Amino acid sequence: MMKLSKFKFNLPPELIALHPATNRDESRLMVVHRNTGKIEHRIFKDLIQFFGKGDVFVMNNTKVFPARLCGNKEKTGAKIEVFLLRELNPSLRLWDVLVDPARKIRIGNKLYFGKDESMVAEVIDNTTSRGRTLRFLYDGTHDKFKEDLYALGETPLPRYIERPVEPEDAERYQTIYATEEGAVVAPAAGLHFSRELMRRLEIKDSKFVFLTVHSGLGNYREIDVEDLSKHKIDSEQILINLDVVTAVNKAIDSGRRVCAVGTSVMRAIETAVSTDKHLKEYDGWTNKFIFLPYEFSVANAMITNFHPPLSTLLMMAASFCGYDLLMKAYQVAIQENYRFCAYGDAMLIL
């Protein structure tokens, strides 16, 4: 069995990136060659040297929304943080949320948001120990409700970025091609792409296709079992349309590179694979957890960031790269002061 403890390593806290690189495409890029074990040190815009005519990048076009709200509980005025996970019913204004501290919140409690406490929500269900269903009490149109709700929220930076949210985060904790609202976690591998780099790759006849995975907080949940086969990850919603399927299968058939940009994309395409190892259309949910040993069917290249110890993201990267080579690459990354996590540097696995 593959054990959790194999993914433990010492990550110096100062290597966790608290801010993004000044320019998206100038973060560092480690290139790892699976066939030779060679490791190269580049910058992200050097990607252009590894891709060309007929190669396909599969990107996640999910859009992060300002999911973190600060409110007050009725009567006591206690401060409550509400993390919006997803909208359950637009007409009833029902949302699936996490609340902190959870122990103070009961069914029937009202929460108030905003300086004038004009946004009010009522707790109508306890779904898990921390999870709740809130009903927002709001009379206007749905569009106006969303606009007012999001104006109160802030960019949901991961907890390990231990600093206040800054104005630039609204833009930088988002890919430049984000169009489909629904994520509370940015697809970090895609944060490195600039418009200029994408244009230069298109001039070389590389192609970009976009699927949607609404990334949730499940990737950050602690794993509490040593045997990874016993770990269950949260389901995420994915949509893969015909344009993506056609482009990817053409690249597979012509022996070109299919590059999964990020772990969310890799999970999606491995969920939607047919028996003949081609991609198929998909509209639904996935809770696929990829860990060693695993045989990949679609992508033959992957871009990913440097992940924290004991994370499901690290386990997927190791499955694609090979355990020994990936862990060696991580030791090199630490020696060379690569920056880790969402705002950190990137790795290209070929």
Give the per-residue pLDDT at 1: 84
Give the three-class secondary structure for 225.
coil
- CA distance linking residue 146 with residue 221, whole number of Å: 27
pLDDT at 115: 86
Instruction: In whole angstroms, give the CA distance from residue 316 to residue 274.
Output: 20
Q: Could you tell me where the DSSP H helices lie in the chain?
A: 142-152, 169-172, 195-203, 242-253, 263-271, 312-321, 323-335
Residues 36, 75: Cα–Cα separation, whole Å? 65
User: Which among 304, 274, 131, 294 is positioned nearest to 228, based on CA atoms?
Assistant: 294
Cβ contact 51:259 at 8 Å: yes
Distance of CA 183 to the CA centre of its chain: 8
Question: Model's pTM, two decimal places?
Answer: 0.93
Q: Give the per-residue pLDDT at 130.
A: 60
What would the DSSP string read from start to end of 137-174? E--S-HHHHHHHHHHH-B----TTS-S---TTHHHHSS
pLDDT of residue 190: 98
> What's the pLDDT score for residue 128?
61
Q: Does residue 114 come out as left (phi exceeding 0), alpha (psi in the -120 to 50 range) or beta? A: left
Tens digit of pLDDT per residue, the chain (350 long)?
889 999 999 999 999 999 999 999 999 999 999 999 999 999 999 999 999 999 999 999 999 999 999 999 988 989 999 999 888 899 999 999 988 887 878 889 999 998 888 899 999 887 665 678 899 999 889 999 999 999 999 999 998 999 999 999 999 999 999 999 989 999 999 999 999 999 999 999 999 999 999 987 776 778 999 999 999 888 889 999 999 999 999 999 999 999 999 999 999 999 999 999 999 999 999 999 999 999 999 999 999 999 999 999 999 999 999 999 999 999 999 999 999 999 999 999 99
What is the rounded distance in angstroms from the CA atom of residue 97 to the CA atom of residue 277? 37
